[in-house]
Structure 1
Amino acid sequence: MGQKSAEKSKLSRTAWVVIVLLFLLTVISNADKAIIGFASVPIMKELGLNAEQWGIVGSVFFLLYSISAVLGGMLADKVGTRVVIAGMVIIWSLVQFSTLFMSSFAFLLITRIILGAGEGPAYSLAMTAASKWLPKEKRGIGISLVSVGGPLGVAISAPILMSMISNYGWRSAFIATGVVGAIWVVAWLWIVKEKKESAEESIVSEVDVNQAASQENTKFSSVLLSKNFIFIALCGFATYWSFTIGLNWLPNYLENVRKLDAEVLSIVVALPWILITLSQISFSMISDRLFHKTKSVVKGRVFVLGPVMLAGAVCYFIGSLLSSNLLAIALLSLGLTFGCITLVLGPAILMELVSKQHQGKIQGWFMAITSLGGIVGPYVTGYLIEHSSSAAAGFEFAFIVCGVVLLVFGGLVWALVRPKKSEVPLITQELPKSV
């Protein structure tokens, strides 16, 4: 029994290939998002934009993001994740190529809205696709391997794209990511086939469906309206508030307020994304160990997520008040780092709340609510900067507000998220003895 369990927890060669491709997907997706922050200064100068307008540029990206995340999840449940993911990346690439013709604020807004619609389902579908290939005991670290492509995408692309922007103009960076996206689509469609459930997984799914008829907490509608899902999604909202400030405003802050030169900036701007990568892997491994030991989502996942979010809030509070460039950058980087933990532990918790046939939808709804933080955060930041006595004072206030959001929603998750299913040993939920 122990040997069978160990074999089932191993990843197949095909699963590893899928995980690598999904990792590259998140690398490309986040590089696409990050370019706008790297190119903020030259774009604002060329188009004559003020801070509040730039906040709008950051926010409109998420206008259709929520809707497309939900629709993408629903579509993936019907036709499969493979085709939907390929369609998304085609949209990204076309939008990136279109920036070659950008000449106005209105054009910039339109491209950001379309790009956001294309990228809306990306993270949730990557998590859903990865989960199909991952054994339950490996989901925390497996999802992290995919998720860390996000921060690594920013960290890896930062020096390359900033060099291209400096030497060849900001449009060259957009074109480059469009080319990379097109190459990825070809590889994805060529290599990956939609995963079919094995006989054992089908039996487990049937058992889940039968249990859903008598257990309210496995019904999709009741999970969607439950306090557990709502608080986890609001924690995601806080995460995206912090995450999008890092994407849209941090390079601008470092250049205009902290006065870092181009060479130092290209290195420093990658720091928080490297830290996010390391922290997501570390905390997911800790979470997996606790989950394996306790068989409890609360003890293994929730009790890691909440404290880390609060640590992020503290780092924002302190970092915003320091005059030392070195200490301020270090603490603000840690604030952004710890604030992003929901992106790996949130989906892992949600996978335990619904049966297989609803996993695409619940992840889509999670990202829909999460992405609202991406609408509010950048605009609030831009408004505070534009209407403060100085850019430095505006940024300081914006970082404190972000810390408060992390503190409130991270604290609510830590104190109140208690999935009933998490207290049932998952080992007993595998297969009926008669199978």
Structure 2
Amino acid sequence: MEQKKGAVSKKAWVIIFLLFLLTVISNADKAIIGFASVPIIKELGLTPEQWGVVGSVFFLLYSLAAVLGGSLADKIGTKKVIVGMVVLWSIVQVSTVFVSSFAFLLVTRIILGAGEGPSYALAMTAASKYLPKEKLGIGLTLVSVGGPLGVAISAPVLMHLIMNYGWRSAFIATGAVGFIWTIVWIFAAKGKAVTQGESAETKGNSQGSVVQNETKFTSVLFSKNFIFVALCGFATYWSFTIGLNWLPNYLENVRKLSAETLSIVVALPWIMITLSQITFSTVSDRIYKKTKSMVKGRIFVLGPVMAAGAVSYFLGTIVSSNILAIALLSLGLTFGCITLVMGPAILVDLVSHKHQGKIQGWFMAITSLGGIVGPYVTGWLIGHSANQAAGFHYAFQLCGLILLVCGGLVWLAVRPKKYENSASLDANITNVV
């Protein structure tokens, strides 16, 4: 049965919308800790290094959970794992209201990280099953932009709750939203999905190994191509978690923005991330559709954008104007997040549908290591520098260097030529159901 080229079913749009909301909620949950950093630090009497630890421990079990969650999804189904994951992190969010010590706060952050570890990988896996390859860029972006939008949308609401009702009220609100989403998901995601990706893969196998042999998973996992793409993810999460955990603190304590101005400004980078991901993924899809080349359509977009993010971070630390600094640092964070869209799209071409949960899980596991190291290193630099401003600037410059190196490695060295022919053949049959 022929299906219109590039068509996405109504059921797929519903699932993609819910996965978009999932990433909105997940990233709002992550962002609260940054928004509430000043009152929490004051109440618990934390040092900069201790606050850096708070940011880092979130990712302590994040990597392991991402791998286990992806593997479990391949065995029992992505939808079921997503339900358990959201219920767990919603319970933890609500329990955070009882935090009264540094140790208790660390425990909640560790468990929350374990609950949210598989979220992005599972969202990308679930969405990719409903999308033709020529629509992967924009399709995955519609899910991914829930991340920055989650921060942008929640910022004024959560800041209002924190300033007027105390920081604990924000955690209660996000926990409640998580429970509501779970109920909607259980009813909306009923039934087995027959996806275009599955049909294409089955068709390809019957016609002669369009998809790589299943035993090739480990060779892909340990290939330089996967490792370099995953390192890009590492750099992205280093940048991403600095934006979540430290940027509001920098703007308030170094740039001296008022609470009212801060509640508006903290949303700016996340709005920019949303717009940039939609723009670059659209460009990527058009190039991919035209050339049928992962390198031209994905790699040659990812590398230069990462480099642009590095330059923005460097420039943001040397300008004196608050407006320019906010704009440049926001651009650094914006461009640095491109891997969250391009990375999963590249992985769809590297491994078969059957193992997408595992490969996406491993990708997020390595990616999230940046979230462990970045916030702690930032806190260490701030605590051991001549002053707070100098420490922040060193941290932003280091982040820029990491983006430049990892983005450059992907740009110059990732050439998965042996997969290019498979990608081309897959693109031709993706829409045959």
Question: TM-score w.r.t. structure 2 length?
Answer: 0.96
2:74 to 67, 74, 77: 77
* Cα distance in 2, alignment partners of residues 185 and 351 from structure 1: 27
State the partner residue of 1:384: 381
| 1:330 paired to 2:320 | no
| 1:266 paired to 2:266 | no
* Cα distance in 2, alignment partners of residues 283 and 431 from structure 1: 25
* Cα distance in 1, alignment partners of residues 137 and 276 from structure 2: 13
- 1:18-417 equivalences in 2 (<5 Å): 18-193=15-190, 195-197=192-194, 201-202=198-199, 204-205=201-202, 207-208=204-205, 219-417=216-414
* Cα distance in 2, alignment partners of residues 385 and 77 from structure 1: 42
Name the amino acid aligned to 1:330.
A
Distance change >3 Å, CA 210–CA 371, structure 1 → 2? farther
* Cα distance in 2, alignment partners of residues 243 and 397 from structure 1: 16
Question: TM-score w.r.t. structure 1 length?
Answer: 0.95
> Percent same amino acid among aligned pairs?
73
Distance change >3 Å, CA 198–CA 289, structure 1 → 2? closer
* Cα distance in 1, alignment partners of residues 327 and 34 from structure 2: 19
3-state SS, counterpart of residue 350 of structure 2:
coil
3-state SS, counterpart of residue 111 of structure 1:
helix
3-state SS, counterpart of residue 219 of structure 1:
helix
Cα deviation per residue 1:306-335 (whole Å; 9 max; x = unaligned)?
Answer: 000000000000101111100000000000
Name the amino acid aligned to 2:137.
G
Q: How far has the Cα of 1:207 moved from its partner?
A: 3.9
* Cα distance in 2, alignment partners of residues 114 and 208 from structure 1: 41
Cα deviation per residue 1:360-389 (whole Å; 9 max; x = unaligned)?
Answer: 000000000000000000000000000101
Q: How far has the Cα of 1:37 moved from its partner?
A: 0.1
Cα deviation per residue 1:67-124 (whole Å; 9 max; x = unaligned)?
Answer: 0000000000011111100111001110011012110000000000000000000000
Distance change >3 Å, CA 214–CA 203, structure 1 → 2? closer
Name the amino acid aligned to 1:23.
F
Larger deviation: 301-310 or 193-202?
A: 193-202
Name the amino acid aligned to 2:407.
G
State the partner residue of 2:421: 424
* Cα distance in 2, alignment partners of residues 324 and 215 from structure 1: 53
Q: How far has the Cα of 1:193 moved from its partner?
A: 2.4
Distance change >3 Å, CA 289–CA 390, structure 1 → 2? same
Distance change >3 Å, CA 346–CA 169, structure 1 → 2? same
Query: Is this contact kept in 2: 1:27–1:149, CA < 8 A?
Result: yes
3-state SS, counterpart of residue 351 of structure 1:
helix
Cα deviation per residue 1:21-57 (whole Å; 9 max; x = unaligned)?
Answer: 0000000000000000000000000000010000000
Larger deviation: 422-431 or 260-269?
A: 422-431
* Cα distance in 1, alignment partners of residues 18 and 195 from structure 2: 22
Q: How far has the Cα of 1:423 moved from its partner?
A: 3.0
Q: How far has the Cα of 1:431 moved from its partner?
A: 4.8
Query: Is this contact kept in 2: 1:205–1:355, CA < 8 A?
Result: no
Name the amino acid aligned to 2:174.
T
Structure 2, gaps ≥5 residues long: none
3-state SS, counterpart of residue 349 of structure 2:
coil
Distance change >3 Å, CA 404–CA 431, structure 1 → 2? closer
* Cα distance in 2, alignment partners of residues 291 and 258 from structure 1: 42
Distance change >3 Å, CA 195–CA 288, structure 1 → 2? farther
RMSD (Å), alpha carbons? 2.1
